[in-house]
Structure 1
């Protein structure tokens, strides 16, 4: 049973919380505003009564625009926290919180926005992870929003080597800038994520229009060792992300479970097909249009 406590801002409601924590309640879902007095105490108390805790950080009262929540990270009860959602549109962390967030041993789902303030430099945090390097990560879903590709690369480098990440969503609010930056990102995904468990990969620079004067090509072959991939969408509008005929022929062997592959498409909400499939018995160069893999022009690879 799951108890959803949409808001614990009213401290007078706190005594009633214990009435709902029966033996069948295994998980509590909190909307959490750390700056509100006593909320940290309530969350800590609740974490001692359940095995699974979900926190959704909400915007502090009276704050408009982005707010940084790094100071609240140390007070989070990590021992049984399985889901942490930082409201990506309004709440931010800085690189200093990355080591703790990326290596929390029980965390299954993590959504966060990473910002680099003008007083910060995009450097590796000086503080190491508070957890052992031998920790086995429980993380299955990771969503990161940031404006700099080097920041997400740094975050991935803190992902424990022993992980079973299944889904990685990366939204960039600015241009990736160059093929070399994209290649560094692909190399990091290849080296840090589990190639057998990662099944969903979404990369989007979040531009509303495609740049028409692009002449820089991005090579995605660094992702071919990720043999568990089923759903891949890569939209990098400052470059051209396409498959060569040779690469297209390698996909059935490299990604034997692939069901959907979209490159460069900027038509949001467009669905190529409900369940596209690559037929391993035929050459991928003879796949009928729009039936197998989406490209920037909508034609088959």
Structure 2
């Protein structure tokens, strides 16, 4: 089972602080570094201000060498899918093929109001079309073009370039929706992610998604099943171990440990020492 780190830079994180955390993530032996994709702080004053996920990941791609890098998750409301496909392919090349794309429908209305970003009431249709466009552009053979006509987007003979370095960039779809989320994961994703809090039953959610994957004609083993879980602010190490054990018992292939204090690298090291072995 892989264990990755996960931080919330919108609460206040400079690029150098994110680099320090990502570098420590790599040095300590975690499998990957992932970050949220938001523009308004949920806690604290947010200083020095928000950072764009894919700009930051481009920098980290050049300053790390081993860990996986990605978002958990980017919102479909922030970027046009064709532009996002280009951005992710660029960062994948810059990283030597270590990028993963987490994509979701978005949920935080206030950050949209703050920056004048449209926030449609119905967003699952947008998510479906973005997943179809992004994966379609990457899968189009070199020299061919990609067309798409949907309710929200239209592409006409798109060159479908550049291509990612990876033959198939991992695409993460997550959430607790009973129908649409499992369906979209089954059709487009390489990984389904579930945020584990309280008494949520990840094993039951994984079973629902496996059934959707089978119904879509895919092998359920073709999909990775992961959980994200918050370490709050420095919870005791036995509690961290217990969270990882819960994820393992549920059948997770990967765990994202959410560190809310990205500046506390000493805590990150203690977690690595206790959990990774």
TM-score (norm. length: structure 1): 0.34
Q: Which has the larger helix fraction?
A: 2
Task: Between the two structures, name the one with larger relative contact order (CA 8 Å, sep ≥ 6).
Answer: 2
